Amino acid sequence: MRKIKTGSFFCGCGGSDLGLIGGFKYLNKKYKKLPFHVNYAVDIDKKAVETYNHNFKHNAIVKSISECKHKDMPEMDLVIGGFPCQSFSTVNPTKNPFDERGQLYKELAKVLKEKKPKAFIAENVKGLMVLKKGSIFKRVLTEFKKQGYELNYKLLHSADFGIPQKRQRVFIVGIRNDLNIKYEFPKNTHSNDNELNTKGWVPLSTVIDSLVHKNDKYYFSKKAVEGMKKAKNNMKRGLYQDLNKPCLTITSHLAKVSLNSRDPVLLVKPEEELYRRFSPREAARIQSFPDEFEFLGSQGDAYRQIGNAIPPVLMWHVAKALNEQVFQNTSLGIIN
């Protein structure tokens, strides 16, 4: 079976690409190899690309997608890309959704226009769907659709696929019109709904070896705790996680997390009001990275790379369904 040539844009440290390729183990479950081969990968973040190149046999390049020349790109059967989402965040409504980063989906659309892959997978934050009453999301869909693709999109919840994290992201999957296929998203493997015929959500405890961490640098000072207690009642204070449930969304700035933020922390000893942040490895596990995946750079670099990544397990399910519906479709003659 030939490999499906894939172009990976905004590849970051490689969460999406690891999921796409498969062949890894997470929480004692084997995610089999899929027939995808990344023959072109690019990201503007030098530190993230260093991590990417450390973990994959093929290399990514450091460059903005707007600087990439289409004629220099190889043939692609599939294009994937989690285009930058900071401009679409609902956490900070003052950000301009029409800034340069907010326009990069158009660069991805240009790749589709020039390379004409059989399919593409795009990913972004939940906020993209609701910002400006959904008008921006409609622009994105229109831009992709006019390149000649039948689209389907869905808000996927990481916890519904065996990941111990309450992370919701919108996935847009497009199939080239001439193939006459509409993509169907994979069914949930886990659920918080007892009526569904699935396993229950995976708790945070499965990826936290111990509440007590031997390294003091992960603990908040007494001053930080007192500051939290004095904060206004309407602030998000001490969002410590229940180990029996999935974790709140892992973000890119866990290195600077405070007890007054929206970011999740752990309460180690309630009687002593002892809190700590997650270590990079714990954050990576929450994102469904296997322990063998190594992050280069400082701890701040690692947190940023982890928080910006697409969870590999979630991407694996999306890619597996795409492979079965399109690339293993013998009636299309794509793979014999």
Rounded Cα distance, 160 and 178, in Å: 32
- Token duo for residue 311: 């969870």
Rg of the chain's alpha carbons, rounded to an integer? 20
Of the candidates 7, 288, 299, which has an alpha carbon nearest to the alpha carbon of residue 160? 288
Selected catalytic residue, list 11, 13, 68, 85: 85
Under a CB-based contact definition with an 8 Å cutoff, are residues 305 and 261 in contact?
no
Residue corresponding to tokens 């906020």: 127
Rounded Cα distance, 327 and 324, in Å: 6
Strand ranges in the chain using DSSP code E only, listed in sequence order: 4-9, 24-26, 29-31, 36-43, 61-62, 78-81, 119-125, 149-157, 165-166, 168-176, 190-191, 199-200, 247-248, 266-269, 274-276
Residue corresponding to tokens 């199939």: 175
Q: Is residue 219 classed as helix, strand or coil in its secondary structure?
A: strand
Residue corresponding to tokens 């009642």: 233
- Per the DSSP assignment, residues forming a β-bridge with 189 are none
Under a CB-based contact definition with an 8 Å cutoff, are residues 11 and 60 in contact?
yes
- Token duo for residue 271: 């009687």
Q: Is 247 an active-site residue?
A: no
Residues constituting the chain: 336
Question: What is the set of active-site residues?
Answer: 85
